[in-house]
Amino acid sequence: MAYRLLYPLRTYLIVSGRMSEEVNVMTADWVTVLSHKPVLVGVAISPKRYTHKLIEKYGEYVIAVPSKDMLRDVWIAGTESGPDKLSFMNISFMESKTVRTPSIREALANIECRVVAKNTYGDHTFFVGEVTGYTFNKEVYDSEEYAPKKLSLFIAHVAKEKFTRFSEEIIIPEI
């Protein structure tokens, strides 16, 4: 459990598959940015996950940013396996702009990714995605720099069923 020392970590929803065929949603904390030019991100996913199969098949995924109001969905997506869970989640899908994997309408943002590299690190596969498009809630992010504004809407994972939010307070280093 030594990796818990890096927590709290942001938690995201990973959408995979295609609307007309099959779609799945899982929760992932192990997400990071990797490069500015091109903009690359990465997500570590266990080969045991249904999402792993769908990303392998379609070569695309969407990282959706859940709000505090989607915590129940985050929990279900993280603890139940396979697309059946969608029937008891409160999310709806919308078309993405640049990939055929859908985005989540209720999410604060959706980051559309095309897989450009894949590496096995230990017991997880790391899917590196180039960001080809995105949508976001303009009340929640600054529309020029895409920086988050309403911080208390964003959640992070502490451990197991425990989550937390950010403070609205911005702190600036005193130099």
Show contacts with a second copy in window 20-59 (CB under 8 A): 29-42, 44
Nearer to a second copy, 95 or 161 (CB): 161
Among 26, 89, 141, 153, binds a second copy (CB under 8 A): 141
Considering only residues 48, 57, 72, 105, which one is a binding residue for a second copy as defined by CB under 8 A?
A: 72
Give me the residues paired with residue 133 across strands: 112
- As measured in angstroms, the least distance from the Cβ of 88 to a second copy is 10
**Nearer to a second copy among residue 21 and residue 72 (C-beta):** 72
Q: Choose the binding region for a second copy from 13-21, 51-59, 94-102, 145-153 (rule: CB under 8 A).
A: 145-153
**How far is residue 56 CA from its own chain's centroid?**
17
Question: Which residue in 64, 90, 71, 67 sits closest to 153, CA to CA?
Answer: 67
DSSP string computed for 54-65: HHHHHSEEEEEE
Using alpha carbons, list the distances in angstroms from residue 31 to 10, 61, 129, 170, 174. 8, 12, 11, 23, 30
Please report whether residue 81 would count as binding a second copy according to CB under 8 A: no
Q: Could you say whether residue 89 binds a second copy (CB under 8 A)?
A: no
